[in-house]
Amino acid sequence: MAVTKLIGEGWTNKEIAEELYLSIGTVKNYLTQILQKTGFRDRTQLAIYAVKHHIADD
């Protein structure tokens, strides 16, 4: 959920990794898993979803 929130706020993989104390590879893996589970094609669709559903606001 934290990765989705930060993507919704427009953060890059590098920024997310630094904020959450993860490697960039781990962030990429999390993003891939999120996209597979949600059926979104890319991070842009995920970001739009996060904004529309107020995930990025929390």
pLDDT digits (tens, 9 = 90+) for 11-50: 999 999 999 999 999 999 999 999 999 999 999 999 999 9
Residue that is written with structure tokens 């930060």 in the block: 6
The CA–CA distances, whole Å, from 35 to 1, 28, 30, 58 equal: 12, 10, 9, 20
DSSP 3-state assignment of 10? coil
Two tokens at 45? 């669709």
Q: Tell me the C-alpha distance between 11 and 39, whole Å.
A: 21
Question: pLDDT band at residue 58, thresholds of 50, 70 and 90?
Answer: low
Q: Whole-prediction pTM value?
A: 0.90
